[in-house]
Amino acid sequence: MDADDLKKLGFPDPALFERLIFVVGPAHSGTSLVTRSLLAHPDIVPSFRQESLFFEHIWRYRDRVDDFLFRRLVRALLLPPVAALADEKGTDGDRKRILTRLTREAIRDRSLTDIYKLYPVFSALLGARSKRINEGKRWLDKSTTWRGVRLVGEHFPDARMLFVFRDPRDTVLSQARRLARETGRDDAPVIDDGQLLVQSLYWRTLARLCLTARSKWPDRVTVVLYEDFVNKPEEVVEALLHRLQLSGVPEEAIRDALAAISSRAVFEQGQRYQGVTSETVGRWRKVLTEPQAAIITMITSGTAKELGYDLGDVPIVPGLVPILSALANPRPWPRIAYDLCFPAWNRRA
C-alpha cells in the first residue's frame, strides 16, 4: 500500500497502519474489556469492526478458492464501508478512485498486509467512533483464535501484541456454559464434560502459542491477566498505554470509559454487567464439580503456571475418570486429535 496514496486519502502519517495493536486471548477471557478500554484513548483507531475476523474469514481461504471467489469474498466484507463512503457527502472522485485501486491491487496480489490494512483505512475514512485519523498513532484489532498471532508478528514488525488470559477454570466454564445455552437448555444448562475437555485444549493451545510468541518477540508482547484488570483496571490500562508508548489520559477519562462498558452475563440469562466487575473471578468454585475442575486442571495446569496461575496439585485420579468418560463420546475426537497432533505455531494460518 503506497504511502503517497495514503497521504492523498488524508493520512499524514501512513506509518500508522504499520503500528497495529493486536489483542488476542481465548473467548470469555476479557479481550473485549481490554479492547474497549484501550479504544477510549484518542490515539488508538479501531479496525472497521472491533473484531475484524480477517484471518478467520478471509486469509485462511487465500489458497482454497480461485481468484474470482477470493475477490467476491473480500469485497463482500468491504461493501458496507464502500457503500457508506459512496453515499457520504463531500467524498471526492479522486479519493474513491484511489480506494478502488488500492482494494483491487491488494486483492490481485493477495497481499496479507495490504488487505488487512483496508480495515482501518475504511474505518478511519468513515469516522469510526468519531476519531480523527490524522491524530491516531496506532490501530487496534482483536481475535480469539490462534490464526493471526504468528502472521502479525512476522508481517508487522512495529505491531504490539497484547495477550489476555483468565484463570482457565473460569474461562472454560464460561465457554461451556454458553455452548450449553446454545443447545436450548436455557433454564438449567447442563455442562458437558466433553465440552470441558475440548475447551480446555483450546485454552491450552492458544496459551502455548502466545507463550511461544512472547519468547520470540519479548519486546513486542505483553500479557494481561483478567484478574489484575478487573481488580485494578485504571492501573492496568495506564501500564498498557505506557507499554504502547502512548501518552496517558486522565484517570477520570479511564474511569468513565470503563463505566460505560456493558457486557452480557453468561450465567444469569438476560442479566448484563455495567462497568468492570470482579464478581466473575472464581465463579468456577460455585459451579464446577470436583471431577469437572480436575479435567481442566489436568490439561491446563502446566501452561497456566507459566502465565502466573497456580492451579494446585494435578488431580490425576479425579480427573482421569471424567476424561475417559468424555472420550466415550466420539463427537470431540476430531478436535482433540487436531489440537494434540498439530501445535498451533506450525499450523498453516
The predicted structure's pLDDT at residue 325 = 64
CA distances from 2 to 5, 111, 195, 264 (A): 5, 13, 47, 42
The predicted structure's pLDDT at residue 343 = 61
Q: How many domains does the chain have?
A: 1
The predicted structure's pLDDT at residue 131 = 52
CA 227 to CA 154: how far, in whole Å? 30
CATH of the domain at 160: 3.40.50.300
The predicted structure's pLDDT at residue 338 = 60
Rounded (5°) CA angle 37-250-237: 35
Q: What domain range is 225 assigned to?
A: 3-346
The predicted structure's pLDDT at residue 236 = 92
Low-confidence residues in the chain, pLDDT < 70: 48-49, 77-93, 126-135, 182-190, 262-274, 315-349
The predicted structure's pLDDT at residue 6 = 82
The predicted structure's pLDDT at residue 99 = 81
The predicted structure's pLDDT at residue 89 = 47
CA distances from 300 to 25, 85, 274, 336 (A): 15, 47, 30, 14
Residues in the chain, overall count:
349
The predicted structure's pLDDT at residue 118 = 86
Largest CA distance in the chain: 70
The predicted structure's pLDDT at residue 194 = 80
